[in-house]
Amino acid sequence: MVVRCWREDPCTVLHVVGDLDVAGAPRLRAELEQAIAEADPPNLVVDLTEVPFCDSVGLGVLVATLNRIHHIRGRMILVLAPGMIRHLLMITNLDRHFETSESIGEARMALGSAA
């Protein structure tokens, strides 16, 4: 898994490439924790359009991060392509909890309009 992270006002963008599984989840968790620590408020855009697979460990990282973000009054938007992760969120009813977007630009606009 490769995670690129950059600041793009009004948010921090994390672009993830590769499987979000037991092997890749610790890398994403570390990048998310660093992004949260460096941002005030923590508004994250997590681009998962190049993540073909997510297991329960990866999903757990996303849920734990969402809970932490809500607790500290930030926002997190997942950028999703049609496919496995969008379906996974739907069948677990997590699509009701996560904000999602079709593109990084759309997610940035949503965060900017709330500022």
Dist. CA 80–CA 36, nearest whole Å: 21
Dist. CA 29–CA 60, nearest whole Å: 10
Tokens of 5: 């992270």
Query: What is the per-residue pLDDT across 60-115, written as a single tens digit (0 to 9) for each?
Result: 999 999 999 999 999 999 999 999 999 999 999 999 999 999 999 999 999 987 54
Dist. CA 21–CA 78, nearest whole Å: 17
Dist. CA 33–CA 35, nearest whole Å: 5
Query: What is the per-residue pLDDT across 24-69, written as a single tens digit (0 to 9) for each?
Result: 999 999 999 999 999 888 999 999 999 999 999 999 999 999 999 9
Task: List domains and CATH numbers for the chain.
Answer: 2-114 (3.30.750.24)
